[in-house]
Structure 1
Amino acid sequence: MTLDASPADGRAPERLVTPTFGLIVVAALGYFTALGMLLPVLPRYVEDTLGGGGVAVGVAVGAFAVSAALIRPAVGRLGDRLGRRPLAVVGGAVAAASIAGYGLVASLPVLVAFRLVTGLGEAAFFVGVATAAQDLSPDDRRGEAASFFSISIYGGLAIGPFLGETLYRSGGAGRVWLVATILATFGSLVALLIPAHLGRAPAESRPSDVVEGPESDGDGDRPRRRILHPAAVMPGTILLLGLIGFAAFSSFLALHLDDLGIDDAGPYFLLYGISVLVVRIFGARIPDRFGAGRTTTVSLLSVAAGMAVIAAVDAPGAIFAGTLIFSVGMSLLFPALFGLAINTAPAAERSHAVGTFSLFFDLSQGLGAPVLGLFVDLAGTDRAAFVVAGLVALVGLIMARVRLPRLVRVSA
C-alpha cells in the first residue's frame, strides 16, 4: 500500500505538505523518539551500572555514529539506485533489533557492539527518510522542507528524553530499551508506505559515482570512484563543528546536572526539543528568506553562547537559559546548511549528497563525544565538555564567514 507522491514525470509537487510527506514525518518521529529516549539513560547506565568514566560514556554514546559514518556515503549512492523506501524500512528494523540487545549483557564492549549496529540502521533510515522529504519539496523550498521534516527529529528529541527518564525511574534501563525498540519498529513499519518508485532512478540515468576528468585509480583507464559528494563537504564540515555542542549536550548534560544535585535531566531535554520545534515550525522560512550565510552565523553564535552559559553558571535557571540559547542555534543550523548542500547537488545525485552531509553529523557525535570525554577526564569536571564545544563552534563560525559566500553564489 502506498500513497501518491511526486508526479510521474519526476517533478516535485508545488505543495510542500502532502500525505506522503506527512507519513515520512510520522515514521521519523517514531524512530527519533526511540533515539531520544536513550540520551539521558545511556550515560547514566554506563556510569552507574557499567562503572565507566568520561571516555567510556563518550565511546558508548558516540559509537553508533562511527559505524554510521563509515557506510553513510555508500548508503547514499544505494538510495539513488533502489529508492528511498528500502533504506528507511531496513534501517529502522536494524536499529530496533540492536536497541533490543542493549541490556542482554551488562558489559561495555557488548553495549558498544550493539551501538555500532544501531549506527548501521541509523545511516540507512535517516538517508532514506530525509532524502524522500527533499524529493517531495519544490526546489525553492528546500530549507522549509528541511525545517518541517526536522520536526520529527526534534519532536523525538523533545518527547524521547522525557519519556526515557520516566521509564528509567519506574522500571530501569531494561524498560527503556524495550519501549525504544517498539518505537523504532513502528518507524520501520510506517516507512513501508513510502512509494517504492520515489527517488529510484532509471538505469540509464543513474549517477556513475565517479569523478570525471584526468584522475584515475592508477591504471590509467578507469576514473576514480567518488566517495564523498563535493557539494556537501564544506556545509557538512561547518555542521560538524556546530554539532560538537550537541555531542556535549546529549552526552554530558545529565551527568553535569547530577554533579550539581539536579537529578532529573528530562525537563532540560524537553525544553531543548520544544524550543527547536517552535523555531522550526514558525521560522521554517528563515533559512530561505535570510540565506544560508546569515542563518549559519546566528546559529553558531547561539551555540557558543549557550555552551558558555551552561559551563559557567550552576543555577538551574541559568542552565535552562543556556539550553534555550543553545536550542535556537541548533534549530537553524541544520536546515540552512542542508538546503545549501541539496541545492548545489544535481537532482540525480541528491541521495549521495544527503549521505555525505549526514556523515558529518555522525562524525560530530562519533568523534566528538569521546574527545569531549577525554577533556572531561583530564579536567575532572563535566563542564569542560561545554567549554570545548563552545570554542569549536567559534571555529566553525570563522570557517562559515570565509567559505560559505562562494557556495551560496553557486547554489543561487
Structure 2
Amino acid sequence: MTEKRPIWTKSFINISISTFFIFVVFYALLTYIPIYVMNDLGGTATQGGLAVSAFLVSAIIMRFFAGLILEKYGKRNVLVLSILMFAVSTILYIFVGDFTVLLFLRFFHGIWFSLMTTVGGAIAADLIPPERRGEGLGYYGIAMNLAIVGGPFIALTLLPYVTAQSIFSIFAVIMAIGFLCALSVKLDEVPAAPKEAERKLVFSDFVEKKAVPIGSVAFFVSFAYASIISFISVYAESLGLIKTASFFFIVYAIAMLLVRPFSGRIFDSIGPNVVIIPSLIIFAIGLFSLSQTDSPWMLLFSGALVGVGYGTLLPSFQTLAIQAADKHRSGHATGTFFALYDTGIAIGSVSLGIIAAAFGYSNLYLILAAFILCAVFYYVWVMKKQTKATN
C-alpha cells in the first residue's frame, strides 16, 4: 500500500497562515472602513460603501492580469511582493485624513489583495499532492473561513476603546507577521511552455478557459452568498435578533470546521459530485431557513447550515478549477476562478440590496434558496459538458 504524501509541510502551513492574516485584515477593514468614513472622516453611508467598492473593483480587474504576472515573474516572487505591498498599504491608512485619498488607497490596496490571494491559492495547490488536492485545498480554505469570524471580531472589539490610528496600527502588525510567514514558503516552480520573445497578448494570457465553466457556477453561488455578508446583520436587527447575529459566523465557522476534513477526503476518493451537490442543497436549505427565521436558535441553525453548505463549496470549486487546467497554468486558473467569484459578490451586494428593498429580506432569502436549487441543475449540466469535452 502506497503511503500518502503529506499535506502539512512547512511551506503549506506558512502559506495558510499568511492567507489567514491577509483575510483577517481584509474582513476587518470591510467591517471597519464604512464606520471609519462616517465617524472619523465625516462622510456618509454611501461614501462608506464606495470605499468598499473601490477595493473590490481593483481586485476584480487585477484577477485577469494575475496569471500573466505569475507566469512572467514567478509565484514566490509575486507572493513576497504582493504581501509586502499589502502590508505597506495597511500602514498607509494610519496617515489618511481625507476621503478622496482613502478612495485611492482602497483601490491601490485591492490590487495587492487580488495578486496575493491568487498566488496564494496557486502555491497552495502546487504544494499539495495532486491525489489529495481536494482535501488539502479544503484545509487551506479554512484560513479564509476563519478570517470571516476573526476580522470583524477584532475590528468591532477594538472600536469602542482605541483610536482609528491604533486600529490601523494593529492591522499593520498582523500583516507584518503574515509577511514573515510568506518569506518561509519554498516552492519548486513549474516552468511554463516556451514562448516567442516578441508576441501579441492573447485571450489565454488573461483567462484560463478551462476554469470558466466551474467558475461560472461559483459566480452564482457567491452572488447568493453576498446576501449573507452584506445583509445578515441588517436582517437580524429587523427581527430583533441583533445580539444573536454576532454569533452567526461563529456557528458558521464551527460547522464548517467539523465537516471540512471529511468533505475533502470524500472529494478526492469518490469524486466532486458527492460533495458539491449535497452542499448546494444544504446551502439552499440554509437560505430557506433564514427566510423563515423568527428566533435566536433558528438564526444560529441557519448559520450552521450555511457553514456546512457554502463553507464546503468554495474550496471544492477552486479544486475543480485548478484541476481543469495544466499545472503550469494554476495561476491563470486561480485568477480566473476568483475573478468570477469576486464579481458574483460585487454584483450581489448591489443588486440583492435592491431586491431586499422591494420585497423584504425574508423574501430575498426565499428567492435565493430557489436560485441555488436551480444552480444544482446548472452544475450537473456544466460537469456533464466538461466530461464530454475531455473524453
Range of TM-score over shorter length: 0.7 to 0.9
Distance 1:63 1:294 in 2: 38
1:283-294 correspondence runs (5 A): 283-294=263-274
Structure 2 residue aligned with 1:323, among 303, 308, 312? 303
1:6-405 correspondence runs (5 A): 14-42=5-33, 50-52=43-45, 59-101=50-92, 104-105=96-97, 107=99, 111-171=102-162, 175-195=166-186, 198-199=188-189, 201=191, 205-206=193-194, 224-226=202-204, 227-264=206-243, 265-379=245-359, 381-383=360-362, 386-405=365-384
Q: TM-score, normalised by structure 1?
A: 0.82
Q: Which amino acid is the alignment partner of residue 344 of structure 1?
A: A
Distance 1:137 1:155 in 2: 20
Q: Is the 8 A contact 2:10 2:185 kept in 1?
A: no
Distance 2:255 2:6 in 1: 26
Q: Is the 8 A contact 1:252 1:385 kept in 2?
A: no
1:82-138 per-position Cα deviation (integer Å, ceiling 9, x unaligned): 22222222222333344445573464x655443322321111111121111111122
1:367-387 per-position Cα deviation (integer Å, ceiling 9, x unaligned): 2212223333444x5556534
SS at match of 2:19: helix
Q: Is the 8 A contact 1:61 1:369 kept in 2?
A: no
Distance 1:14 1:94 in 2: 34
1:209-254 per-position Cα deviation (integer Å, ceiling 9, x unaligned): xxxxxxxxxxxx9684422101110111101111123322112222
| Greater Cα offset, 284-293 or 133-142 | 284-293
Distance 2:363 2:44 in 1: 20
**Is the alpha carbon distance of 1:156 and 1:369 closer, same or farther for their aligned partners in structure 2, counting shifts above 3 Å?**
same
Deviation at 1:307, TM superposition (A): 1.9
1:52-76 per-position Cα deviation (integer Å, ceiling 9, x unaligned): 26xx666544442321121112112
**Is the alpha carbon distance of 1:299 and 1:207 closer, same or farther for their aligned partners in structure 2, counting shifts above 3 Å?**
farther
- 5+ residue gaps, structure 1, are 1-12, 209-220
CA RMSD of aligned residues (A): 3.1
Q: Is the 8 A contact 2:135 2:261 kept in 1?
A: no
Distance 1:315 1:46 in 2: 33
Q: TM-score, normalised by structure 2?
A: 0.85
Q: Is the 8 A contact 1:100 1:177 kept in 2?
A: yes
Q: Which amino acid is the alignment partner of residue 386 of structure 2?
A: L
Distance 2:35 2:167 in 1: 12
Deviation at 1:263, TM superposition (A): 4.2
Partner of 1:213: none
Distance 2:283 2:120 in 1: 26
**Structure with the higher fraction of residues in helix conformation:** 2
Q: Is the 8 A contact 1:242 1:303 kept in 2?
A: no
Distance 1:98 1:378 in 2: 38
Deviation at 1:276, TM superposition (A): 1.8
**Identity, % of aligned positions:** 24
1:385-408 per-position Cα deviation (integer Å, ceiling 9, x unaligned): 534543442342221021113435
Q: Which amino acid is the alignment partner of residue 238 of structure 1?
A: V
Deviation at 1:311, TM superposition (A): 3.0
Q: Is the 8 A contact 2:252 2:303 kept in 1?
A: yes
| Greater Cα offset, 120-129 or 56-65 | 56-65
**Is the alpha carbon distance of 1:222 and 1:184 closer, same or farther for their aligned partners in structure 2, counting shifts above 3 Å?**
closer
Aligned length: 383
1:158-181 per-position Cα deviation (integer Å, ceiling 9, x unaligned): 322222221224336555433233
Distance 1:175 1:310 in 2: 36
